[in-house]
Amino acid sequence: MVKSMTGFGRGEASDKARKITVEMKSVNHRYLDLGVKTPKKLAMFESNIREVLKEYAERGKVDVYITYEVLDEAEGSVHYNRQIAKEYLAYMKEMAEEFGLDNDIRVSSLSRFPDVFSLEEAEIDEEEVWKTLETAFRAACSQFVEARSREGEKLKNDLLDKLNIMRKDVALIEERSPQIVAEYREKLRNKVEELLGDTQIEESRLVTEVTIFADKVAVDEEIVRLKAHIDAMERELKKDGAVGRKLDFLAQEMNREANTTLSKANDLTLSDVAIELKTLIEKIREQIQNLE
């Protein structure tokens, strides 16, 4: 299934000691670019997270946000740094005596000085923590992929509709091209007759002129290639996996053929259709930028 590069997912998992929540979102990017914001105690698992993500995404700028909530008080304890507190108190007494100030220090204010109290975290079981984190991350990834797939399906249907319109435009060009040559031949004959009057027209010279014109405005090769590119793009859209890069290449090739067709157009109708083709191709290229 074709997937969009934009999506969002959320997952949550807990064990007896902790609860881990993972949120992730993505936007368009040429390659897979992962950014992880996680508590310091989970930073060691970033490489694991990157490996798991590769199972769910191939392209996109993906941002992952992880929160960690302690459920077991044994995971951490408060440590009282007695020596630091003594030094703070001694210096404040010294300041009071030196400047003739009241020593109004209280326990509540002393306790707020840096490092008087510190939180010491207990050693964590890495295997157990990763098991919980992986569960939450995979749940987020599953929701993330579902969102990308839903959006991708909408984009695919829109692109298929545009390809069908392109087919009709190419068919119009194919039908109109021979008529242009026939009309040119008739105009040329009428012009020559108007200039020469009843003088007999040299048919071979007329044929030569028409042949030169036909060669200049011929778009047979462009039509064949446009049809092939349209069919190839439709096949890619019906495949699974990342197809965005190949579709972008096909769109570039389509645009090249449409440009050539427009440059050869010596007819208002043909020019209008070629311009519509180019407009459609540009819209297709914009949509493709959203596909993985």
Residue 252 lies in a domain: yes
Q: Which domain holds residue 245?
A: 152-288
Residue 175 lies in a domain: yes
List the one residue out of 187, 177, 154, 183 whose CA is nearest residue 226: 177
- Tens of pLDDT along 88-139? 888 888 888 888 888 888 888 888 888 888 766 667 788 999 999 999 999 9
Please name every residue paired with 180 in a beta bridge, in sequence order, or none if there are none. Answer: none
CB 5 within 8 A of CB 27: yes
What local confidence, expressed as pLDDT, does residue 53 receive?
Answer: 95
Give the Cα separation of 121 and 99 in Å (integer): 41
With the CA atoms of 179, 180, 184 and 185 taken in that order, what torsion angle do they form, in degrees rounded to the nearest 10? -30
List the one residue out of 115, 105, 114, 106 whose CA is nearest residue 81: 115
Give the Cα separation of 200 and 206 in Å (integer): 12
CB 177 within 8 A of CB 218: yes
216 with 230, same domain: the answer is yes
Q: Is 174 helix (H, G, I), strand (E, B) or coil?
A: helix
Q: How many residues does the chain have?
A: 292
Strand order of the β-sheet with 60-70 is 7-14, 18-27, 60-70, 32-37
Residue 197 lies in a domain: yes
Cα four-point dihedral sign 193, 195, 198, 202: negative
- Check which CATH number belongs to the domain holding 234 and give it: 1.20.120
CB 291 within 8 A of CB 27: no
179 with 211, same domain: the answer is yes
Residue 2 lies in a domain: no
Tell me which H or E stretch contains 69.
Answer: strand 60-70
What local confidence, expressed as pLDDT, does residue 78 receive?
Answer: 76
226 with 209, same domain: the answer is yes
Number of independent structural domains in the chain: 3
Residue 245 lies in a domain: yes
What are the residue ranges in the chain where pLDDT is below 50? none
What local confidence, expressed as pLDDT, does residue 115 receive?
Answer: 85
Encoded amino acid at 45, one letter? F
List the one residue out of 163, 182, 179 whose CA is nearest residue 270: 179
144 with 156, same domain: the answer is no
Instruction: Please state, as a whole number, how many other Cβ atoms lie within 10 Å of the Cβ of residue 272.
Output: 14
